[in-house]
Amino acid sequence: MTLAIRPAERADVPVIAELIRGLARFEKLEHEVSMTQERLAENLFGRHRYAETLLAEEEGVPVGFALFFHNFSTFLAQPGIYLEDLFVVPEQRGRGVGRALLKELARLAVERGCGRLEWSVLDWNREAIGFYERLGAKPNSEWTVYRLAGEALSALGRE
């Protein structure tokens, strides 16, 4: 296997969009995807780049991606990297693709002076949880993630 990890470029937007749809299918959340390629291109490669994407390719064929952005720890007074999505196409799982993506993210975090790399995982995804724990990741079970979206977000913003 000739695996390469590289930063995505604007021309990769259709590939990133298809990998996002694959992730949504895997997570049984297709009904929540309202992403368009235009919006993805603008927010990843436009005037303000809100996130970055790494692509994993085997002999030029996309087999996975990691989408991430910087956050900030006030307690550490350092930036961090938040991994929003990590996805490997089903037929490539167990071959080191996910590990290679996380290894590159860890390298970037160290290079950029980040104090941590963190992410969320669905509690039913036992395979992913086991994989992350084998890498040395620890769950942060004392915290609960909250989200404002859609009308609730709009309503609060209008107050």
Instruction: Tell me the per-residue pLDDT of 81-134, one tens digit each, with 9 for 90 and over.
Output: 999 999 999 999 999 999 999 999 999 999 999 999 999 999 999 999 999 999
Bridge-based pairing of strands 52-58 and 117-119 is: unpaired
For 149, the domain range is 3-158
Task: Give the mean model confidence (pLDDT) for residues 1-21.
Answer: 96
**Both tokens of residue 93?**
């799982």
Q: Which residue has the higher pLDDT, 147 or 45?
A: 45
Task: Give the mean model confidence (pLDDT) for residues 47-72.
Answer: 97
d(CA 79, CA 70): 6
Q: What is the pLDDT of residue 1?
A: 65
CATH assignment at residue 36: 3.40.630.30
Report the mean per-residue pLDDT for the chain.
Answer: 95
Q: Which one of 50, 82, 132, 146 is the catalytic residue?
A: 132
Q: How many domains does the chain have?
A: 1
Q: Is 132 a catalytic residue?
A: yes
Q: Beta-carbon neighbour count of residue 108 at 10 Å?
A: 17
Q: Give the model's confidence band at 159: pLDDT under 50 very low, under 70 low, under 90 confident, else very high.
A: confident
d(CA 50, CA 89): 24
Q: What is the pLDDT of residue 87?
A: 97
Of all residues in the chain, the percent with pLDDT exceeding 70 is: 99
